[in-house]
Amino acid sequence: MRQASMARRMGAGDNHPDNDPAGEATSEHRSRHTSAGWNQEAAHLSDIVDDHQDDDEGLTVFARRVRKTDLLYATNQMAVMVESGVTLAEALAAIIDQEENPTLRRVLTQIRREVESGNDFSAALAEHPKIFDHTYISLIRASEATGMLGEMLGRIGGHLNKEIEARRKVRAAMIYPCVMFVMAIGVTIFLLTFVLPKFMPLFEAKGVNLPIPTKVMLAVSHVFGDYWMWWTAGTVTLLTAFFVGKQTEPGGWAWDTIKLRLPIVGGAIRKIVLSRSVRTLGVMVQAGVPVLDALKLTSQIAGNRLYEEVWLRVMNEVTAGKEIHTALLGSPLFPSTLVRMIASGEETGKLDQVLQRVSDFYDQEVETSVKAATGLIEPIMIGVMGIIVGGIGLGLLLPIFSLSSAAGH
């Protein structure tokens, strides 16, 4: 029995794969199959980890807003690489590696996966409307039909750059008046709530008959000091009502109408809206976007409901067979010179070039109008601040003069 068992073990040893060529082939095949399986599993696990990292990044990183400058930088980089022959997926990967904004990096990562899966670039962008607006997506969609993605990205970059420059000039011009306004309010509150009450015990001890300006300021000081919770709550309520009401349809219409009719700055606001609208329409027409789609998108980015309504009416009339300049005739929101230039562009077949020149002209007009507006606002703010501070100072000095006169007698 022991010999038979040993014989069986020896026979099993003779048939072991290590001693059998066929067994060696089977073992090698199994090893390769197992290795391939492990590689596939590792790749799958890597994708899962990447997905969880992206999700965690979106949850743990405080949602950082994607600024226009971030989008401009990524678009210009993409344009250069695509025009140089780099594939779109590789260009996105390179931008993702260098992108510092976590929100934009996460979005670009998702877009890259969509592109690598075979989806259109425009369709991937459309899933993130808060970052890529209708104009951006429509221009990319038009480039996919013509096969000129690199050139179109360059145009989009130029369009974004002009928008950023226009906003930057307006903000830079309005900084000083805003600072003056805040300082005027702060100085007024400080004088009424901290300085004036310090003098009141002196006046009461001397029995000074307070003049009317001082009595008025004293009443205002009591309102600020004794009822500060009420006027603070009232201010917060008014501001909240303003911002919430502005989001409603009636409130939005009212605010957009008021903005265009504001003294000093109303003209500048009109030119800003015209510049943005005309520039967008020109870029869309130049890119080969259908005119009706371009007009619809122009209405969406106008930024003012009155202009949005006009552009939608123009779209409907163009659908009925009219030309753009004919539909714009008679509208008080569009200067006659602008309508004439659009008419010449339609007659010569160079509407896109004319619109680009008109937008450049209005960009310069915006800068001039904003400078003129701030040139008027600054002395007005200085004068108002002088009147307020001078009035408070006068209210404090009048009782002191009364004390001096009494002491002299």
User: What is the DSSP code string of 203-243?
Assistant: HHHHT----HHHHHHHHHHHHHHHSHHHHHHHHHHHHHHHH
Quickly tell me which residue has 């805003």 as its tokens: 178
Could you tell me which residue, 375 or 62, shows the higher pLDDT?
375
Q: Tell me which of 395 and 164 has the higher pLDDT.
A: 164
Token pair for residue 393? 């100072």
Q: Spell out the domains of the chain, with CATH numbers in brackets.
A: 68-132 (1.20.81.30), 165-409 (1.20.81.30)
Measured from the Cβ of residue 228, the count of other Cβ atoms closer than 10 Å reads 12
Place of tokens 């609208």: 277
Q: Is the pTM of this model over 0.75?
A: no
CA 270/CA 287 separation, integer angstroms: 26
Q: What angle do CA 393, 396, 399 make, to 5 degrees?
A: 140
Least confident of 202-206, 231-235, 276-280, 402-406: 402-406
Amino acid letter at 337? Answer: T
Work out the number of other CB atoms within 10 angstroms of the CB of residue 113.
17
Helix (H) or strand (E) holding 185, with range, is helix 149-190
Burial class (CB in 10 A: 0-12, 13-18, 19+), 360: middle
22-26, 68-72, 233-237, 289-293 — which is least confidently predicted? Answer: 22-26
CA 248 to chain centre: 20
What is the pLDDT at residue 406? 57
What is the per-residue pLDDT across 292-321, written as a single tens digit (0 to 9) for each?
988 998 998 888 999 999 999 999 999 999
Please, what is the end-to-end C-alpha distance for the chain in angstroms? 144
Task: Quote the percentage of the chain above a pLDDT of 70.
Answer: 83
| pLDDT value of residue 50 | 41
**What pLDDT is attached to residue 379?**
85
Q: What is the pLDDT of residue 408?
A: 54
Distance CA 398, CA 125 (A): 68
Taking every pair of Cα atoms in the chain, the longest distance, rounded to a whole number of angstroms, is 144
Instruction: Please tell me the number of Cα atoms within 13 Å of 7 on its side-chain side.
Output: 4
Averaged pLDDT for residues 221-237: 85
**pLDDT tier at 407 (50, 70, 90 boundaries)?**
low
